[in-house]
A and B are shown apart, each in its own frame.
Chain A
Amino acid sequence: MARRSMPLFDKNSATVFGNVRDWRSALEDVRHLRLERGELIQVALVGSKENLPDLLSSGQVSQGLQCLRRTDQLALFHYARRFGLRNQHRAEGRFLLAASRGNFIYLIVFVARPRFWRSGITPLIDVLYPRAALPFLTQAELHRVLKIVQKAIQPARGIRILELSSKRRLTASARKRFQSVREWTDADLESVFREAGERNEWFKSVSFGLVAERDGRPASTGVRASVSKYGYFACNGEFDLFERTVIQELVAVAAERLRFFADRDRLRTPHHAPRPMQISYDSEVFRSSGQAQKLVDALRRFKHGTCTVLHANPYVHLSIVDNLDYSSAEVWVVSQDQILIVPQLRASEAGLKRIVNHIFEHFREGKLSEYQVQAP
């Protein structure tokens, strides 16, 4: 095996990816990267059944997009955007768009301050909806991603959770349903997720550091990274490690999720028959009618959507329409431990993903699976 050359640190955020031909050369470029203060190597996963490089190059999406370079596998874009009441703010930067190994999953890779993600890339992805959309991870999947990193660096090193952005369910007497929490901590991976489960809390993002044992205590190596449940990743070093652990696992999860939601629109199913899915819970969450009402209330708050209540008590039958792409599905609760989702005539992967993620975030996360035919 050829020895890899020492990193030269002669690339910066303005020059990285300038001459890359493929993913391997992109990774090689990142090895030679010198980050400026506040800059991070960032990756966002986007699912799309369209040719995303073509779409972004077409001029249909945004005037601020310019394709700088393109190969079979990659495309490098420059993006500038003005925003604010008087367009007084500006977000500008470059990003690499690469097709991943997962079907229909693209990677948007960029080296910049987090502001470019918040004010540049995120609004760009929003504009692409429903032709492209961020994935979502369940709490269990997020946990698994971090465990993969931990396993890859043991026993010499480990990870410590440093920052959490989470949502915690409030008590029934509270006026609000959820509490948004941002915590700074220094805790081990397992205890953080265990305590979250006990508190009925789920994470929007988790930041962690790589540590090595020194004098019997964990000491920071200076490498820090964060993963969000929406397929966003950022780090300040060791991108090689995170590419083969975090990124690959995120791609696998996102691709499987996209495959699961695909081809459920009744327009295309044989005889226009429904192809439903179910969210199952370990306990009888709908034992009380109050829980059914909570689900109805949660779906009434479905952003950019319409919730029509056909029946609310004792069983629940709702019709949900995504007003952005006109996908629709019926939501039924006729079992105390299950929600049935029946996609209707038009049901895109992005629309169904949005409906399911909304139930997970605003009601309760459960196990998503194909509907199983049961005996009468």
Chain B
Amino acid sequence: MNEVRWNQDKRSLRSEVKYELGRRMTTSPTNPVSPRAEVTPDAVVQAKEQSGFVVEVKLGLPKEVCFWDKDIRQVQKYDDDLEGWWTRSEHIPAHDILVLVPLTRAVRFVDRVKDGIQERKWDFRRSLSVTGFIKRSGAKDFITLKQEWGALSDRNLSERLRESVSIHLVILAATYKEKFLDSRPPPPYLLHIIWDGLFTHYAADLPREEEGGFVPLSVTVVRVTKDLQEYYGSPSAGERSPEIPGASLVREALDALVEGKFAERKRDGEYVIRYKRTRSDTLRRFGRLCFVLEQKQRARRESATSFLPGMEPPAS
């Protein structure tokens, strides 16, 4: 997205490019895979009024090629007159499909797509680009994108990707406030952002209790979710727009704080946090907490199923 937004002449990011992670699109009745269904591509980009592209990212692909068919079929869903673009009719005349895969798998992925086309397993009427990505470390750290097969309608972009484009990680770190994508974040990471990012903001101007030095923070799932979306994710901008992160994840995080004795649950959705800063690395701290909670949950599950069918579980 950064590459699409970058204006080389003005050396700035174009603000008119519309994009969203996890946007809810709707397939047409003639979709060969999922007709009249809601699909959520990893990213949807509308660079111009009447054109755009849908992006699907595969951070990892298993070694066995046979498992890749499911992913290719998922991409095939996007080869459709999708509804949900930023136009009055929510349709645009044409869009491309861009699949991002690890560079080390890109050639074989392309081979599988081509084989599937020959075998008539799938076909793509819209422009499809398979682009590999890899992180390079050296004098600077980059993400490099290299188009392995296909082309995009934007000839300029397509040619740049064909030759390979390297995006300096510093641009991503310095420009984007988002800490969350539309996939589930690791729980310790979410807790770290809440504890070090959001609760510092809540607690900064409040007095500390004399005993224990805690700052009692009254929070709700609604408020924490709204603030996380505004400052670290993205609030929903409409019916098709996802909320990142969602309230259910936030509730799980706050419940984990209760389990870890960092908070008390007052009522449904309301908590009082016993907020105290320490020197501990918060990712490690909450990593340990989440590990312990996961172990407890596993033990509870195993205990619930460790009896013969037909028998009642023992009273706890």
Contact = CB atoms under 8 A, between A and B. Distances in A.
B141 A335 contact: yes
A306 B197 contact: no
Interface in B178-205: 189, 192, 196-198, 200-201, 203-204
Interface stretch (B29-37, B43-51, B72-80, B272-280): B272-280
Interface stretch (B5-13, B106-114, B256-264): B5-13
A306 B280 contact: yes
Contact of A342 (B2, B174, B284): B174
Interface in B259-300: 277-284
- Which of A274, A323, A346 has the most C-beta atoms of chain B within 10 angstroms of its own C-beta? A346
B19 to A, nearest CB: 14
Contact of A334 (B3, B173, B177, B192): B173
A359 interface: no
A271 B177 CA distance: 9
Contacts of A307: 281
B59 interface: no
A266 B177 contact: yes
Interface string B207-230: 000000000000000000000001
Closest 10 CB pairs of A and B: A326-B200, A323-B277, A334-B141, A334-B169, A326-B204, A314-B137, A276-B174, A335-B140, A376-B167, A315-B141
A337 B138 CA distance: 11
Contact of B173 (A321, A326, A328, A342): A342
A183 interface: no
A315 B139 contact: no
30 contacts: A272-B231, A273-B177, A274-B174, A274-B176, A276-B173, A306-B278, A306-B280, A308-B281, A314-B137, A314-B141, A315-B141, A315-B169, A321-B196, A321-B277, A323-B277, A326-B201, A326-B204, A330-B173, A334-B140, A335-B139, A335-B168, A337-B139, A345-B197, A345-B200, A373-B11, A373-B171, A374-B171, A375-B11, A376-B6, A376-B168
Given A306-B277, A315-B169, A345-B197, 4 more contacts: A274-B174, A326-B200, A332-B170, A334-B141
Interface in A282-320: 284, 305-310, 314-315, 317, 319
B137 A309 contact: no
A344 interface: yes
Interface of B: 2-3, 6, 8, 11-12, 137-141, 165-171, 173-177, 189, 192, 196-198, 200-201, 203-204, 230-231, 277-284
Contacts of A342: 173-174
A338 B170 CA distance: 10
B200 A340 contact: no
B196 A336 contact: no
A319 B171 contact: no
Interface residues of A, number: 41
A242 interface: no
Nearest to A286: B139
A319 B177 contact: no
Contact of A374 (B3, B170, B189): B170
A326 B200 CA distance: 5
Given A308-B281, A334-B141, A345 B166 contact: no
Nearest to A317: B173
A376 B165 CA distance: 8
Contact of A325 (B173, B177, B204, B231): B204
A344 to B, nearest CB: 6
B86 to A, nearest CB: 18
Contact of A376 (B171, B231, B281, B282): B171
A110 to B, nearest CB: 32
- Which of B2, B167, B281 has the most C-beta atoms of chain A within 10 angstroms of its own C-beta? B281
A178 interface: no
A151 to B, nearest CB: 39
Given A266-B177, A306-B281, A326-B277, A334 B200 contact: no
A286 to B, nearest CB: 9
B225 to A, nearest CB: 16
A376 B3 contact: yes
Interface of A: 266-267, 271-274, 276, 284, 305-310, 314-315, 317, 319, 321, 323, 325-328, 330, 332, 334-338, 340, 342, 344-346, 371, 373-376
Contacts of B284: 308
A208 B260 CA distance: 57
A317 B141 CA distance: 12
B223 to A, nearest CB: 14
B235 to A, nearest CB: 11
Nearest to A348: B204
A373 B166 CA distance: 15
Nearest to B204: A326
Contacts of A328: 196-197, 200
A371 B280 contact: no
B195 to A, nearest CB: 9
Contact of A323 (B167, B173, B177, B279): B279
Nearest to B3: A376
- Which of B12, B197, B280, B284 has the most C-beta atoms of chain A within 10 angstroms of its own C-beta? B197
B201 A345 contact: yes
Nearest to B215: A326
A344 B196 CA distance: 10
Contact of B201 (A323, A332, A346): A346
Contacts of A376: 2-3, 6, 165-168, 171
A262 B204 CA distance: 18
A345 B231 contact: yes
B141 A267 contact: no
Given A338-B170, A342-B173, A376-B166, A306 B196 contact: yes
